[in-house]
Amino acid sequence: MLDLYAITSERSTAEIERGVQRALATPEAARIGVLLRAKHLAAAEQRGLGRSLRELTRERGAKLLVSADLALCEELGADGVQLPERGPSIAEARARLGTARLIGASRHDAAGLARAASEGASFATLSPVHASPFKGEPLGAMAFASLVSAAQLPVLALGGIETHHVRELVLGGAAGIAAIRAIFDHPDPASAVRAFLTEIDQARALLPIKQSSRRL
């Protein structure tokens, strides 16, 4: 179950490792997925960072996913992979990684969500929900809820999300929340994680039982 998806940002390996370590310094780390997304790093640096994050996530009971790189996912023994719309297919990833690993799909519209579901993704991220640098026009909470209502797989909200957005998004159908800056730019990442999880829990308490069961 990924209630909160913490996506690494374009920083040095030391900064990324320190940020993840601090973010996972909570008793609820098992509810968190960490996505290693580090295209700015050389391949050797990505592997080294991946090994460090694999150790950290195992220690804390969190999930580790890798962005796009199926070989690195296998090498690290990661829990899954996050696929962009253009890149390795969901079918290719499933055939290579097996049925036990999570396969996330990065999506931006209804057609993308429908393809992700039909091709067997474990979940999708839908973005940008709110304004986020260089990510295009935001969907907004109402459009997000409309798209999620028709989706046939769990959908995590991504893009410009702060803790005060969480209740509306969860009530609108989000299976969880994905964040980058709101966690790793926070002076206390563990505090940010706890705040997100508290908001998620409080929102889920307001959901009908049928809707609250649509979780990853």
Summarised one tens digit per residue, pLDDT across range 67-108 is 999 999 999 999 999 999 988 999 999 999 999 999 999 999
**Can you tell me the distance from the alpha carbon of 25 to that of 102, in angstroms, rounded to the nearest whole number?**
23
Q: pLDDT band at residue 135, thresholds of 50, 70 and 90?
A: confident
Query: What would the pLDDT profile of 37-67 be if each residue is shown by its tens digit?
Result: 999 999 999 999 999 999 999 999 999 999 9
7 Cα distance to chain centroid? 6
Q: Residue 127 sits in a domain of what CATH number?
A: 3.20.20.70
Q: pLDDT band at residue 214, thresholds of 50, 70 and 90?
A: low
In the chain, the number of structural domains is 1
Whose structure tokens read 């220690």?
A: 59
**DSSP letters for 120-175:** T-SEEEE--SS--TTS-S---HHHHHHHHHH-SS-EEEESS--GGGHHHHHHTT-S
Q: pLDDT band at residue 212, thresholds of 50, 70 and 90?
A: low
Q: What global pTM score does this model have?
A: 0.95
Residue numbers of the domain that contains 149: 4-212
Whether omega for the bond prior to residue 128 falls within 30 degrees of 0, making it cis, is yes
Q: CA quadruple 74, 4, 162, 166: dihedral positive or negative?
A: positive
